[in-house]
Amino acid sequence: MSARTYSLFDRLVMNFDQAVRTLAGRPLVTGRPNPADDREEAELSEAEKRESMRLMRVNHAGEVAAQALYQGQALTARLPVVRGRMERAAEEENDHLDWCEKRVNELGGHVSYLNPAWYFGSFAIGAAAGAIGDKWSLGFVAETEKQVIEHLDGHLRRIAPQDGKSRAIVEQMKVDEAHHGAEARRAGGVDLPQPVKQLMKLTSRIMTGAAYRV
Ligand SMILES: [Fe+2]
Ligand SMILES: [Fe+2]
């Protein structure tokens, strides 16, 4: 059986389908078990519950953005192997998306109202990175994952110690993000210029600040 090559139009249609799935909360997941499932729901104060909910909402918004970045990059990546890797990583991000949304709901919250904006903004950034060149877009993935891990570490310091369900999800996400970053570097991702890294940090600060609130 020969591998099918898709036209740019085919890929745009598939991307639109992915966008709808991501934003409507029905993404294609890998089917791995939710790491929170075998943890007991803990006794949390109202303040602890609210803080966990807000942080998990930030994580969910970050996963919406990650999903869009991968889809955007996959659209413009030149090498099929790079495109294939991006699509696989995007599917794993969908697990995170799914687990975070479930946890936000369990904690009595809602996902960020700004998710469509995160999706389309990140999609454009991803497509631009992919168009510049594979080694840069892979470098962009590696740097993104590094910054995400720093964020997740910050969240682990803020989530109540007894909130094992939220913590289990964040811990598994850290493992996966480290893997995605290492893969991107192995595939040829280069170290990004410092100003680009700073700009990425600034963008994520704006995004996480807004998703924390709404
Ligand atoms: Fe993720
Ligand atoms: Fe990732």
Q: How far apart are CA 7 and CA 173, in angstroms?
A: 33
pLDDT of residue 154: 96
CA of 93 to the centre of ligand 2 (A): 6
Neighbours of 171 (CB within 10 A): 13
Integer Cα distance of 105 and 34 in angstroms: 14
| Cα 212 to ligand 1 centroid, rounded to whole Å | 17
CA 2–ligand 1 middle distance (angstroms)? 32
DSSP 214: -
Tens of pLDDT, residues 83-122? 777 777 778 888 999 999 999 999 999 999 999 999 998 8
Question: Which pairs from 5-13 meet CB under 8 Å and 24+ separation?
Answer: 8/75, 11/74, 11/75, 12/75
171 C-alpha to ligand 1 centroid (Å): 11
Confidence of residue 25 (pLDDT cuts 50, 70, 90): low
Q: Percent of the chain, pLDDT > 90? A: 54
Ligand nearest to the CA of 172: 1
CA of 89 to the centre of ligand 2 (A): 6
Which ranges in 77-193 belong to alpha helices (H)? 80-106, 115-132, 134-158, 164-186
Distance 13 CA to ligand 1 centre (A): 24
Cα–Cα distance measured from residue 214 to residue 212, given in angstroms and rounded to the nearest whole number = 6
